């Protein structure tokens, strides 16, 4: 009976200590930040269509003109291969994807 009481007390002590243990791989609180994830804006310039009187950019599959907005950014300028955007007072330039085709070496 005495051993049962000692083992129960010992078990309770171990259980109370188990709550005090923490994950050894968990970073210190100072490294944990606010928990908010800040991601960079994602704009994809799919295409640019130009004519004599206007330029249209296709960004994130949406056609836009200079002065219009797409995904929270205002279009400042459209060139043949890039677009200048403005969001929250910052400017961003996105370029068309340039596919480079590798050619076999001479004689192969």
pTM metric for this prediction: 0.55
Domain for residue 8, yes or no?
A: yes
**Count: domains in the chain:** 2
pLDDT in tens, 51-84: 888 899 999 999 999 999 998 899 999 999 999 9
CA distance 64 to 11: 69
Same-domain check for residues 28 and 52: no
CA distance 90 to 84: 10
Q: Specify whether the CB–CB gap between 94 and 45 falls below 8 A.
A: yes
Domain for residue 101, yes or no?
A: no
Same-domain check for residues 57 and 88: yes
Domain for residue 18, yes or no?
A: yes
For residue 16, the enclosing domain spans 2-32
More confident residue, 10 or 77: 77
Q: What percent of the chain has pLDDT over 70?
A: 58
Taking residue 75's Cβ as centre, other Cβ atoms within 10 Å add up to 20
């Amino acid at each position: 009976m005495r051993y049962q009481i000692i083992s129960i007390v010992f078990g309770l002590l171990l259980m109370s200590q188990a709550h005090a243990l923490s994950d050894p791989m968990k970073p210190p609180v100072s490294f944990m930040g606010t928990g908010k994830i800040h991601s960079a804006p994602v704009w994809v310039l799919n295409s640019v269509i130009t004519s004599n009187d206007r330029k249209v950019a296709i960004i994130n599959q949406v056609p836009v003109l200079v002065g219009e907005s797409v995904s929270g950014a205002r279009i400042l300028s459209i060139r043949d291969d890039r677009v200048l955007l403005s969001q929250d007072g910052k400017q961003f330039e996105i370029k068309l994807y340039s596919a480079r085709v590798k050619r076999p070496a001479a004689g192969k």
